[in-house]
């Protein structure tokens, strides 16, 4: 594990650059992490998803899957792929300040 300064805050990151402590997150960090992923502007639609991810992850103890975002959060899967291209579940988790979603074996 490493710490890195992002948007003026020392945050803890894992090997792949995912935050390991969601409490350290703030909106400026989200913007900086989004930029790293090539998303230059976070629109209202992005924020809607980020807010859902944070709320759901806090309640459930794990970041939501694409299917859960769709069913429980009412977020269209196509929108997710448009807003967070190439691996929306992973990217949304990262920008929302949560660790990488657990895959299955």
| Least separation in angstroms between CB 72 and other proteins | 7
- Please name the residues in contact with 76: beta carbons below 8 A apart, sequence gap of 6 or more: 70
Q: Is 92 in the site for other proteins (CB under 8 A)?
A: no
Q: What residues from 57 to 76 belong to the interface with other proteins (CB under 8 A)?
A: 65-68, 70-72
Pick the catalytic residue: 74, 78, 103, 104? 104
Asked if 72 and 56 touch (Cβ cutoff 8 Å), the reply is: yes
Is residue 105 near other proteins by the rule CB under 8 A?
A: yes
Helix orientation angle between 44-60 and 88-95, rounded to the nearest 10 degrees: 80
Cα–Cα distance measured from residue 53 to residue 51, given in angstroms and rounded to the nearest whole number? 5
Backbone phi and psi for residue 13, each to the nearest 5 degrees, phi listed first: -125, 150
Q: Which is nearer to other proteins, 51 or 65 (CB)?
A: 65
Distance from C-alpha of 22 to C-alpha of 70, rounded to nearest angstrom? 22
Minimum Å distance from CB 83 to other proteins?
Answer: 11
| Contacting residue, 80, 92, 93, 95, with other proteins by CB under 8 A | 80
The answer to whether residue 87 forms part of the interface with other proteins (CB under 8 A) is yes
Beta bridge partners of 13: 2, 19
Where does this chain bind other proteins (CB under 8 A)? 65-68, 70-72, 77-78, 80-82, 85-87, 102-105
Residues with catalytic function: 104
């Amino acid at each position: 594990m490493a710490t890195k300064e992002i948007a003026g805050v020392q945050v803890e990151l894992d090997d792949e650059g995912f935050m390991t402590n969601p409490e350290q997150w703030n909106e400026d960090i989200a913007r900086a992490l989004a930029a790293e992923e090539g998303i230059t502007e976070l629109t209202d639609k992005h924020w809607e998803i980020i807010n859902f991810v944070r709320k759901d992850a806090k309640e459930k103890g794990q970041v939501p899957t694409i299917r859960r975002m769709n069913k429980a959060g009412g977020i269209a899967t196509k929108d997710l792929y448009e807003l967070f291209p190439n691996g929306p579940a992973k990217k949304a988790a990262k920008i929302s300040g949560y660790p990488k979603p657990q895959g299955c074996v």
